[in-house]
Amino acid sequence: MQFLRAAVLWTTLALRAFSAIPDLVIFDEDDPLGRDYYDASVGASNGGSLLKLRSSSRDKMPISEISAARGEVSGVIEWLSARGGDWQLHVFRPGFPLLDTVPYARLTFAVNSPRSIAPDALPLVELQDLRGSRRSIPLSSVLRGTDADSNSWQTVSIPLSALEGDPAFQPDRVKHVTFRQNRSDRQAHILWLDDLKFMARDRLEFTNRPPAPLNLTACSGDRTVTLSWNAVQNAGVTRYRVSRKTPDGQFAELPGSPVVMQSVADVHVTNGISYTYIVRAENHAGLSENSSQISASPKAFATDDDFLESVQATAFDYFWREANPQNGMIRDRTQPWSAASIAAIGFGLSAINIGIDHGWITREAGSDRILKTLRTLWSAPQSTNEINTSGYKGWFYHFLTFEDGTRFGTSELSSIDTALLLAGVLDAQQFFNRDSATEREIRDLARSIFDRVDWKWMLNRGDTLAMGWYPDRGFTSARWRGYNEASILYILGIGATGPNALAPEHWRNWTKTYDWRTSHGYSFIHFAPLFGHQYSACWIDFRDIQDDYTRAKGITYFENSRRATLTQREYCIANPGRFPGYAPDVWGLTACDGPGSGGAHGYIARGAPPAENDDGTIAPTAAGGSLPFAPVECVRALKAIYDGHREKIWCGYGFRDAFNLKEDWWGQDVIGIDQGPILLMAENMRTGRVWERMRKNEVLQRGLAQAGFQPLNK
């Protein structure tokens, strides 16, 4: 048995080394969930030992801006070890997934300290698997203490073979990296921590520099040049460096470079001047040669339509370039550690259709990507297992691994995110209507993926749908009640056929929970964050149809969303919180990242009215996702944000997630469920093509009819 395990292990290593496994980053200089504390950590102390922790629950690793190995911040381990006591700090990868350390050779991280620490005062470093088995090593065995130079960082490199512990330790099911009490010296110590990661075994294979990036393209905008290029595959590339030619003929690296994306916006340019660029790829062996050069001249947008074309094109690039080209998985956000989001995949499938219509990609390239995506969704395992599965009973987990499309971490089986995925699947079914082998297979797979869903099961014996399910603890207690983004979820379920479809009564059960009220002179069904009014309308044209509820109120759901959009704008103009930056043309509250400090939230749903978590954070997707509802006001908002804050909020994929002027905070990530509504709703406003396709879809036709929707005045 031991021989068999060893054979499997080394076969796995060989295969993974061949496929260029990147380093597995656990914690680096950027806290993805807010810089006030590192969310993906848990600490505790007892018996007289002390460990300084942050957050409202006082259990998170603090973040320091005093010193960093890379970037601007580092983690802080501040402790006092008492005899008979204990302290421990568990650092997880964001999302809390299980870690497979089999493909990795060593654990590395950088440390520094404001005061010297003797070797025997340093903590233990430990790995723990899902069953509680441990492997540990004294940090002093690889680090001979720290000096008192706060500008001097030391790199620690621990071969995984050196970690001692339980022989039953499971290296493919590691929970976290732990720092814990070692010697009790009753002294207070501070250790700054940065760049914690597992170094890939295949990193040793990349002794050569990568090839130069290919297909560098440039798109000119108002005081902006957006560059894109093909990702360099199978060369261990970690980032790209972008340079612009200076007046003396030399190249200087752009502000904001290097980047991990395959796109960048140069926002420090002047209209009418020609600029020349190159890009280089970087791996652990060094930089590639220069790419081919490309030149572009920024120019003012001639019309609002030109501006929206640029907004759409850059948003499309997110879905095209932040996808795994082998399986179609699309990242939740622009971070190398990010899992794929099934909602982002749903938006991405429709994004590809839009990209073909606009000529940004060919129909052949788009159909190939969509076919790979649908094959992955159809063939990925569905079961009650906690790992190595993509879903159960046709539903999918909220987050899937970018590499193979199976469950990421402990994410839930998500009913609404599955619905958004299915909407994109059905849009692909409508778009690819030609009689070719590829397009026939797309239609067949789309039908099979949709028909596999057991809608009744998600009711969990109730009269409304559950929000989710976990394999280890069952259904969530939360249900889809009250008006929100779940319209499309119910309509798809009612439009399904067979014994597992939803009955029409479930639509009426849902509408009974609506909250109708009047705010700022507008009466409508309230839901404070704007995404709840936008997501379903990305695919469903509610303009000229009514169900029993809206008929009784004398409106449509489209009109309801128009009123919600204009009311929120009025709220931001009134600005009861007196936040800087709110204005008639700068507004928009919805789910987004946030500062996570100064009294402001991290990622949370923001909205109004009524005020919900309003902390001064504005998200461009709030106005962008409402473009068809209030075109004049929403276009003005997007242009005002672009004109006033372009240098900080605009990037190669268009608008970044959010900003907060009170905290002088600018979100660095682009998020898929932001770009999707911007792209789709701009298309619906400009051409109506997504709505036109989906009006012909049999599932939506059937679902709307059985839910009681009829044309106006019928």
Residue type, 217: T
CB distance 518 to 560 below 8 Å: no
Range with the poorest average pLDDT among 44-53, 57-66, 591-600: 57-66
CB distance 333 to 651 below 8 Å: no
Q: At what angle do helices 415-431 and 363-379 cross, to 10 degrees?
A: 140
Residue 309 and residue 411: Cα distance in Å, rounded? Answer: 35
Beta-carbon count within 10 A of 114 CB: 15
Exposure of 81 in the CB half-sphere (CA atoms within 13 A): 17
pLDDT for residue 11 is more than 70: no
Task: Name the nearest CA neighbour of 515 among 545, 560, 551.
Answer: 560
Residue 134 and residue 619: Cα distance in Å, rounded? Answer: 43
Q: What is the pLDDT of residues 106-161, one digit of tens each?
A: 898 989 898 888 888 899 999 998 888 888 888 987 787 887 677 778 888 888 87
Between 13 and 521, whose confidence is greater?
521
Which single residue is written with the structure tokens 């061949």?
18
Range with the poorest average pLDDT among 78-92, 143-157, 319-333, 645-659: 143-157
Q: What angle do CA 26, 27, 29 make, to 5 degrees?
A: 150
Residue 259 and residue 256: Cα distance in Å, rounded? Answer: 7
Range with the poorest average pLDDT among 204-218, 604-618, 639-653: 204-218
Range with the poorest average pLDDT among 250-254, 333-337, 477-481, 667-671: 333-337
pLDDT for residue 307 is more than 70: yes
pLDDT for residue 57 is more than 90: no
3-state SS of 291-302 is CCCEEECCCCCC
CB distance 593 to 667 below 8 Å: yes
CB distance 22 to 46 below 8 Å: no
For 635, residues 6+ apart whose C-beta sits below 8 A from its C-beta are 304, 307, 308, 627
Task: Name the nearest CA neighbour of 412 among 484, 469, 348.
Answer: 469
Between 194 and 119, whose confidence is greater?
194
Which single residue is written with the structure tokens 């509504």?
677
Cα→Cα distances 401→1, 240, 290, 398, 405, Å: 30, 23, 32, 10, 5
Cα 216 from chain centre = 25
Check residue 1 and give its pLDDT. 32
For 600, residues 6+ apart whose C-beta sits below 8 A from its C-beta are 594, 615, 616, 617, 660, 662, 663, 665
CB distance 261 to 321 below 8 Å: yes
Residue 692 and residue 205: Cα distance in Å, rounded? Answer: 51
Range with the poorest average pLDDT among 25-34, 106-115, 362-371, 454-463: 25-34
3-class DSSP assignment, residue 90: strand
Both structure tokens of 570 = 């009025």
Strands, E assignment, 597-641: 604-605, 617-618
Read off the pTM: 0.77
Question: What average pLDDT does range 573-584 have in this prediction?
Answer: 98
3-class DSSP assignment, residue 555: coil
Task: Name the nearest CA neighbour of 660 among 710, 615, 622.
Answer: 615
Check residue 30 and give its pLDDT. 54
Residue 326 and residue 403: Cα distance in Å, rounded? Answer: 9
3-state SS of 562-599 is HHHHHHHHHHHHHCCCCCCCCECCECCCCEECCCCCCC
pLDDT for residue 169 is more than 60: yes
Residue 55 and residue 45: Cα distance in Å, rounded? Answer: 15
pLDDT for residue 5 is more than 70: no
Instruction: Tell me whether the omega of the peptide bond preceding residue 610 falls within 30 degrees of 0, making it cis.
Output: yes
CB distance 104 to 196 below 8 Å: no
Both structure tokens of 101 = 């350390």
Phi, psi of 157 (to 5 degrees): -130, 115
CB distance 565 to 626 below 8 Å: yes
Which single residue is written with the structure tokens 């990507």?
369
Residue 42 and residue 126: Cα distance in Å, rounded? Answer: 14
Task: Name the nearest CA neighbour of 270 among 302, 301, 217, 225.
Answer: 225
What do you get for the CA distance between the two ends of the chain, in Å? 73
Both structure tokens of 714 = 């019928």
Residue 403 and residue 340: Cα distance in Å, rounded? Answer: 9
Check residue 649 and give its pLDDT. 97
Q: What is the pLDDT of residues 688-711, one digit of tens each?
A: 999 999 999 999 999 999 999 999
Check residue 10 and give its pLDDT. 30
Both structure tokens of 548 = 């029993």
Residue 614 and residue 610: Cα distance in Å, rounded? Answer: 10
Residue 530 and residue 561: Cα distance in Å, rounded? Answer: 8
Range with the poorest average pLDDT among 34-38, 240-244, 575-579, 668-672: 34-38
For 317, residues 6+ apart whose C-beta sits below 8 A from its C-beta are 228, 263, 652, 653, 654
The pLDDT-based confidence of 420 (bands split at 50, 70, 90) is very high
Check residue 256 and give its pLDDT. 84
Question: What average pLDDT does range 285-307 have in this prediction?
Answer: 95
Task: Name the nearest CA neighbour of 183 among 270, 254, 263, 120.
Answer: 120
Both structure tokens of 59 = 């259990």
Q: What is the pLDDT of residues 199-217, one digit of tens each?
A: 875 454 567 889 999 999 9
Both structure tokens of 683 = 């298309």
Check residue 59 and give its pLDDT. 87
Q: What is the pLDDT of residues 466-509, one digit of tens each?
A: 999 999 999 999 999 999 999 999 999 999 999 999 999 999 99
Between 638 and 38, whose confidence is greater?
638
What's the mean per-residue pLDDT of the chain?
Answer: 91
Check residue 714 and give its pLDDT. 62
Residue 567 and residue 562: Cα distance in Å, rounded? Answer: 8
Alpha helices in 322-451, H assignment, sequence order: 342-358, 363-379, 415-431, 437-451
Q: What is the pLDDT of residues 373-416, one digit of tens each?
A: 999 999 999 999 998 999 999 999 999 999 899 998 889 999 99
Check residue 183 and give its pLDDT. 85
Between 373 and 29, whose confidence is greater?
373
Residue 314 and residue 278: Cα distance in Å, rounded? Answer: 19
Residue type, 557: Y
Check residue 18 and give its pLDDT. 33
Which helix (DSSP H) or strand (DSSP E) does residue 319 occupy? helix 304-321
Which helix (DSSP H) or strand (DSSP E) does residue 11 occupy? helix 2-18
